[in-house]
Amino acid sequence: MTVLRLNPSATSSYGRHIRTKMDKVTATQLSTYNDEFNADVKNKLATLTVSRDAYSEALGDRSSYLQHPAVFSHKLSIDPPITNQKRSGRCWIFACLNILRLQMMSEYKLEELELSQPFVFFYDKLEKANWFLENVLATMDEDVDGRVVQYLLKDPVNDGGQFDMIVALLEKYGVVPKDAYPETFHTSNSSEMDALITSRLREFAVQLRQAHGEGASSEELRERKREMLADVHRVLVVSLGQPPEQVTWSFYDKDKKFHEHRDISPLEFYKNYVKVDCTRLVSLINDPRNAYMRKYTVQYLGNVAESQGVRYVNIDIDAMKLYASRVIRSGRPVWFGCDVGKFRISSKGLLDTSAVDYKSAFNFTLGSTKAQRLQFGDSAMTHAMVLTGVHIEDGKPVRWRVENSWGDTAGIKGYLTLTDAWFSEYVYQIVLDKSDLPERVVDVLDQDAVELPPWDPMGALAQ
């Protein structure tokens, strides 16, 4: 295959590194591969077994899930009903609100409670649209074919997000009970709405760049941007409904006593009834590619324009486990981000690095380090959930209990078990209150942040 350089003056790596001839796969190679495969009778058995089911089920190691039953030495006393994000990427919102509701359930003696994920979702989409258009204005002089602009255009209002992003939304808009702003088809099946908004935003990007090229002033461009956001708002209201400005919260407590709180704004509900100061919560990451005890951020990652953005403190994995286990043993949950697709036996609700026996079927094991997987694109934060239990043996964690948001038919009645070995390899982030951390860790927030590129895997949960 011959590759032509389209732009001889380009300075990208694509332009610099040109392969003019590639080694092809030959018939002789294929014949050798087939002969080697057929010579080993074990491969026939592997084909009969693996071709009929998912790898995780066909190759699930029975000893792994027998060794790690869903029993825990320390578990939260409240088990609220399992939530379901359905066909959407709202895990980060569900996980946060699932934590906030636990404090309310305890204080108000509730058997069940769900806060409105759709309410937060609505304003996240609107703020992300504004964030995108602001970044379009900020990159007017960048090459539209360059990596940064193309990255910004890729998925401007995707469902994902980071913990600091939901804090920004809660502090600005508040939240409401779910029955005050429930699900619609498009909150639970968001892809069609996302695609429409994305197409419209890309058209707006074209218009803004053209206006810039024609000499429009910054204020003229921003005025156009404000007009453009009206279209996004219209799509959201038509698809999701208009968010309430006042709500009434009515409920029965565990003693069957009726309570009613009337005419509450969403922000008042968050401040006066949720009563969790989310601004005190710190995102801790474990990223072995980069220096520990340093503060990091990801370029162009965020939603609310006036917020502080996304901030991480990078710590080693043993410290992360220690802090998380202490919080759980004190009776409180922990929000966390991980790569949920790795070594998971769905039918058993188990995440374990030994759970899937690839060696028996394929004659190899996967042996990259955590840093290598991050650097070479084999792993990233893909899902957020809540740690609600830990099993301690000889003073060390052995396995962790996880509340998921995939409904009560996923895992074991909606819960998962992850082993400590899996935690080491595939957990990337936890969120804790400043009071749960040593002062030296909290002090890292005062550092100037190291800025990671927009496509860095530490931003993948929001992508």
- Catalytic site residue from 286, 303, 314, 404: 404
212 is a catalytic site residue: no
SS (HEC) of the chain: CCCCCCCCCCCCHHHHCCCCCCCCCCHHHHHHHHHHHHCCHHHHHHHHHHCCCCHHHHCECHHHHHHCCCCCCEECCCCCCCCECCECCCHHHHHHHHHHHHHHHHHCCCCCCCECHHHHHHHHHHHHHHHHHHHHHHCCCCCCCCHHHHHHHHCCCCCCCCHHHHHHHHHHHCCCEHHHCCCCHHHHECHHHHHHHHHHHHHHHHHHHHHHHCCCCHHHHHHHHHHHHHHHHHHHHHHHCCCCCCEEEEEECCCCCEEEEEEECHHHHHHHHHCCCHHHEEEEECCCCCCCCEEEEECCCCCCCCCCCCCEEECCHHHHHHHHHHHHHCCCCEEEEECCCCCEEHHHCEECCCCECHHHHHCCCCCCCHHHHHHCCCCCCCEEEEEEEEEEECCEEEEEEEECCECCCCCECCEEEEEHHHHHHHEEEEEEEHHHCCHHHHHHHHCCCEEECCCCHHHHHHC
| Cα–Cα nearest to 288, from 229, 371, 352 | 371
Could you identify the residue written with the tokens 């949960």?
461
The token pair at 288 is: 């072995």
278 is a catalytic site residue: no
404 is a catalytic site residue: yes
State the pairing for strand pair 415-419/396-403: antiparallel
Give yes or no for a contact between 417 and 350, defined as CB atoms under 8 angstroms apart: yes
- Catalytic site residue from 68, 186, 383, 391: 383
**8 — alpha (psi -120 to 50), left (phi > 0) or beta?**
alpha
- Catalytic site residue from 91, 96, 278, 338: 91
Could you identify the residue written with the tokens 């079927």?
361
Tell me which residues are annotated as active site.
Answer: 91, 383, 404
